[in-house]
Amino acid sequence: MKNSLIAGAGHYLPERIVTNDELSTLMNTNDAWIVERTGIKERRWFTPGKDTVTSMAKQASEMAIKNAGVKTSEIDFIIFATITPDYFIPGNGVLLQRELGLQGIGALDVRNACSGFVYALSIADQYIKTGMYQNILVVGAEIQSSALDKSDEGRSSAVIFADGAGAVVLQATDEPNRGILSTHLHADGDYAEELYVKDPGSSREVRISEDLIHSGSFNLKMNGNAVFKHAVVRFDEVIREALAAHQLGPENLDLLIPHQANLRISQFVQAKLGLEDEQVFNNIMHYGNTTAATIPVAISEALEQQRISPNDLVCLAAFGSGFSWASALIRW
């Protein structure tokens, strides 16, 4: 059976930097309040007319393909994780396929929000292990800023979410004990409405109406206390699950790359696992929470900063809307 390894990674962040001080001109907040609750100092928002989910994904994908040392024509499948597609239908996978000139290969979209990239990576891993594909482009890209309620009422989520794209090339290898060792996927729909965007929904009499727009149902709604309470438990559980599956413990980890949900959550989980600062990669302070894009962006930056070396044990972990949570354990 083949194993699958991350042969290359890439990322793209919009040029527009939005600081906490700028947000304080839009809503009743300030830098100290945001940093204390989220750890975020600044984030990136897209530029209308320039950035799209597809264009950002293309930039990240081209970087990942180059770093993987393969030709674009060698990509034989695309898995695209996003909850903010450029179109309601079709999904973003085919739009990226078109931009890369890969017409004819399969393209799959994943809508698991913050855990979407790890879910997508798990799917790609299964395809490679069965021998169906050799080089799979796995992408996470989001434009969240256009859906945020930038008033005082929405400030708890408006200060957190942001835009960006990341991608990896997952490649088949015959090397034993290298690449993705295992993935672990979970969900609990009882909490679906604790973090969601209600509309546009197909079960309404009409999908879009003036009343719906004024109701605020198109804006992100988040119960921050519920998300934090569940996230710190599930993150810890799913990381330990991945390690226990291989008779390993937190002390064996070279690097944990958590979904960049909130720096407080990452620090809480780090403390529960007994990890040192150098064992955890965080960049939320610069980019905010880019949902499905956070982990691939972090992988790309960690490789650039030489935080990952050959044979390192790396764990990816995510928690978010659904609620859904997931982990992947990788021997680099």
Looking at residue 202, its pLDDT comes to: 84
Which residues of the chain register pLDDT less than 50? none
114 a catalytic residue: yes
Among the options 114, 219, 230, 283, which is catalytic?
114
Looking at residue 203, its pLDDT comes to: 85
The CATH architecture annotation of domain 179-331 reads 3-Layer(aba) Sandwich (3.40)
CA distance 325 to 191: 12
259 a catalytic residue: yes
Looking at residue 211, its pLDDT comes to: 80
User: Which superfamily does 3-173 belong to?
Assistant: Thiolase/Chalcone synthase (3.40.47.10)
Domain residues of the chain, as ranges? 3-173, 179-331
The per-residue pLDDT for range 207-225, each reduced to its tens digit, is 888 887 778 777 778 888 8
Cβ neighbours of 201 (radius 10 Å): 10
315 a catalytic residue: no
Looking at residue 215, its pLDDT comes to: 80
Whole-model pTM: value is 0.96
Domains 3-173 and 179-331 share a fold: yes
Among the options 11, 184, 230, 259, which is catalytic?
259
Among the options 135, 283, 289, 315, which is catalytic?
289
Looking at residue 301, its pLDDT comes to: 98
Looking at residue 176, its pLDDT comes to: 85
